[in-house]
Amino acid sequence: MEASEIPALPRGVRLHFDKIRDTWVLLAPERAVTLDAVGLAILSEVDGTRPFGEITRTLAERYNAPEDQIAKDSSGFLDALRDRRFLDILP
């Protein structure tokens, strides 16, 4: 994922707190993806307006971690979601 790309959750893909298993999940067609703390932190920033670069900068500041490391970790996660059509890139 490029720093200038704007990720968005498409219709039919949403975050959900699973009370029974006490965890956040991403609900999508035929899938429920269990989210760890990092996955949840990234997806919570995905709002369909801010580019990926801005999201990683925000997370780097909040967690006091190197920005390129965060970009590397979250890029793979978001690309995998994109391959499943669970994430759109806005034009």
Residues near other proteins, by CB under 8 A: 10-14, 16, 18, 20-21, 25, 27, 29-30, 32, 82-85
Of 52 and 59, the one with the shorter C-beta distance to other proteins is 52
Q: Which residues make Cβ contacts (< 8 Å) with residue 85, sequence separation at least 6? A: 10
Of 36 and 68, the one with the shorter C-beta distance to other proteins is 36
Q: Which residues make Cβ contacts (< 8 Å) with residue 73, sequence separation at least 6? A: 38
Of 25 and 70, the one with the shorter C-beta distance to other proteins is 25
Burial pattern 9-39, b for ≥16 Cβ within 10 A else e, equals beeebeeeeeeeeeebbbebeeeebebeeeb
Instruction: Report the nearest approach of other proteins to the CB of residue 48 (Å).
Output: 15
Instruction: Report the nearest approach of other proteins to the CB of residue 58 (Å).
Output: 25
